[in-house]
């Protein structure tokens, strides 16, 4: 197991990519704190799955956009696990609209969750990692933070911000033995996509770009996160790894 006896915190971890990451970290030996704002029932289901693997798991309802709630979550993790080793910033949202019609609320809320939320949890874990001279921070961004996407100026800007933030924090914490990296998925078939009325159209447009000619699944992302959270990636920091089947080359 790559992560035996490590303790991880994963935001946005009740569904989709976040849930797959939480399961994969547990499969590799980690205890996991699940953080989600809306999907309490799903979070408790994932908690039970992880506990059935013989790992410790706690599920906490929190708004990642809240600085105070992020601090409380980290305190709860330390109380339950005694130590934190891995932070996966995954919680995110989109609220689409073209730039000339986007409201201030659309812009602000996406930035609060997608960018400030990552700052909130990193801010409260970085001192711990710095003091213990060990830590792994993995930020989930998007290929649309690298290239931009029509109708998603707020989302693309937030995901691009995550990339710059990742590189800056990697520079700050590298001397303390802390690795900070980002993973940029392309189109991933989550439950949200499966339930979308526009699923076939979305997949068709993506497949025209994807050189591997298949849509990714959450486990494709989770495998890379588990690797980056392990000592096998100890000499990798400040990187952005695309998991997109060649959708954006």
pLDDT 10s digits, 53-86? 999 999 999 999 999 999 999 999 999 999 999 9
User: Average pLDDT of 21-25?
Assistant: 98
**95-104 per-position pLDDT tens digit:** 878 989 999 9
36 SS3 class: strand
Burial 167-195 (b: 16+ CB within 10 A, else e): bebbeebeeeebbbbbbbbbbbbbeebee
pTM, 2 dp: 0.96
Q: What is the pLDDT of residues 147-200, one digit of tens each?
A: 988 988 999 999 999 999 999 999 999 999 999 999 999 999 987 777 777 788
**Per-residue pLDDT at 203:** 93
**Residue 195: per-residue pLDDT:** 75
| End-to-end CA gap in the chain | 32
Model pLDDT for residues 86-127, shown as the tens digit of each residue: 999 999 887 878 989 999 999 999 999 999 999 999 999 999
Please give the Cα distance from 182 to 192 (Å, whole number).
22
Which residue, chain included where needed, has tokens 């989302």?
A: 155
Q: Which residues of 43-54 are buried (b: 16+ CB within 10 A; e: fewer)?
A: bebbbebbeeee
The C-alpha angle 133, 118, 37, rounded to 5 degrees, equals: 120
Q: What are phi and psi of 74, to 5 degrees?
A: -65, -40
Is 155 among the residues known to form the active site? yes
Nearest 5°: the CA angle 111, 86, 220 is 75
High-pLDDT (> 90) share of the chain, %:
86
Q: Going from the N-terminus, what domains does the chain have, and what CATH number goes with each?
A: 7-242 (3.40.50.720)
Among candidate residues 118, 134, 155, 248, the one labeled active-site is 155
Question: What is the residue-wise DSSP string for 113-124?
Answer: IIIIHHHHHHHH
* The pair of three-digit structure tokens given for residue 85, joined into one six-digit string: 């080793």
**CA torsion angle for 204, 208, 213, 218 (degrees, to 10)?**
-60
Radius of gyration of the chain (CA): 17
CB 140 within 8 A of CB 183: yes
Q: Is the dihedral of CA 70, 73, 79, 82 positive or negative?
A: negative
Segment (H or E) for 138: strand 135-140
Share of the chain above pLDDT 70, in %: 100
């Amino acid at each position: 197991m790559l992560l035996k006896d490590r303790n991880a915190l994963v935001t946005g971890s009740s569904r989709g990519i976040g849930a797959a990451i939480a399961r994969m970290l547990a499969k590799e030996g980690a205890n996991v704190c699940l953080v989600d704002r809306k999907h309490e029932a799903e979070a408790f289901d994932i908690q039970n799955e992880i506990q059935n693997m013989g790992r410790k798991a706690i599920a906490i309802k929190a708004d990642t956009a809240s600085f105070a709630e992020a601090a409380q979550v980290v305190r709860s993790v330390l109380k339950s696990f005694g130590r934190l080793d891995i932070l996966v910033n995954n919680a995110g949202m989109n609220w689409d609209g073209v730039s000339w019609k986007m409201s201030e609320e659309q812009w602000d809320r996406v930035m609060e969750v997608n960018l400030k939320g990552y700052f909130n949890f990193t801010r409260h874990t970085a001192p711990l990692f710095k003091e213990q001279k060990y830590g792994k921070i993995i930020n989930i961004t998007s290929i649309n933070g690298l290239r931009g996407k029509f109708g998603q100026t707020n989302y693309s800007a937030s995901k691009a911000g995550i990339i710059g933030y990742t590189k800056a924090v990697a520079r700050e914490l590298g001397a303390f033995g802390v690795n900070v990296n980002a993973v940029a998925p392309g189109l991933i078939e989550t439950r949200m996509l499966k339930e979308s009325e526009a699923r076939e159209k979305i997949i068709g447009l993506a497949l025209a770009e994807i050189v591997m000619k298949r849509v990714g699944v959450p486990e494709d992302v989770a495998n890379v996160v588990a690797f980056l959270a392990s000592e096998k990636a100890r000499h990798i920091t400040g990187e952005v790894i695309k998991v997109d089947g060649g959708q954006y080359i």
